Amino acid sequence: MERLLAKLQERCEYMLRMQIQVRDGTKQSNKDLGDKKISDLDETLKDVLFKGIVKQYDTENEIVKEANGAIRLIEAEGSAVAFAEVFKGAREDMINVSKRLKLNDVGEVTLAIEEDIIATLKEMIEALKKAREENKSQGKPGKPQQSGPQPDPKLLDMITELKLILSRQMRVNDRTQLYAKRYKGEQAVKPDQMPSDPKERERLENLQRELKDLAGQEKRINKITSDIYKGKNKAQGE
């Protein structure tokens, strides 16, 4: 178990470093853009902006790959369904950031999603550190051992999992409110009302997909929370 915890912590710390780089790059691109549209910039600044966004986009895709590997490890271990879901939620955020950067969106919502990813990764790192410390203390000489069959070891304890899933729930709620405020009138555009401009169409389709993903996360979080209380906290592979 220690090896798995250490490997997951290492992956999370690596993803965190890269995500901070993306966030900082997005902030700089947002600052460079200001209140202007990209089409309004002179060619020199436009070139600098595009190069920065492409770099952020490539890095975000690398983070997604790392998240995929971490999720496979968690699901293979099988005892932490809430942790797996939190990781999947963070991965969905990473994918959304990648798609937004592809559309050169370095605005308020993109930055908010990046901040959520950073906060989630920090929480997961702390949870993994705590689990490693607990494992070490249990293995110290002189610690009394329980008689009878020992329970199967778990990646994270129930309280830690509940804290992580609660934080995820709060972020889903906050994101839903942010979208309602930022994208008034754009959330329910019907297919026959989509704009003809390909970029604008893709932006609206991405927005509707993100809202659908948030609704799906809400349902999964509710089910997982219920399952934990019922003692069914076993991660299932996709």
pLDDT tens for 198-234 read 888 888 889 989 999 999 999 999 999 888 777 665 5
Residues ≥6 apart with Cβ < 8 Å to 183: 207
Distance separating alpha carbons of residues 125 and 16, to the nearest angstrom: 9
What's the pLDDT score for residue 96? 97
70-81 pLDDT, tens digit per residue, is 999 999 998 888
> How far does the chain reach from its first CA to its final CA, in angstroms?
22
pLDDT at residue 167 is higher than 50: yes
Q: What is the pTM of this model?
A: 0.88
> What CA–CA distances, in Å, run from 115 to 3, 22, 60, 108, 164?
29, 10, 13, 11, 16
pLDDT at 34: 86
What's the whole-number mean pLDDT along residues 61-68? 98
Query: Using one digit for the tens of pLDDT, what is the confidence trace for 102-155?
Result: 999 999 999 999 999 999 999 999 999 999 998 888 766 555 555 555 555 788
DSSP 153: P
**Per-residue confidence (pLDDT) for residue 135, from 0 to 100:** 85
pLDDT at 186: 67
Q: Which residue has the tokens 């203390």?
A: 137
- Residue 216: the pLDDT is 93
State residue 158's pLDDT score: 86
Contacts of 98 (CB under 8 A, 6+ apart): 57, 60, 61, 64
Judged against a pLDDT cut of 80, whether residue 238 lies above it is answered with no
**Residue 13 to residue 15: CA distance in whole angstroms:** 5
Nearest-CA neighbor of 211 among 113, 137, 145, 131? 113
**Residue 234 Rama label (left phi>0; alpha psi -120 to 50; beta):** beta
pLDDT at 187: 63
Q: For 21-63, how does the pLDDT look when each residue is reduced to its tens digit (9 = 90+)?
A: 999 999 999 998 988 888 888 898 889 899 999 999 999 999 9
Higher pLDDT, 208 or 67: 67
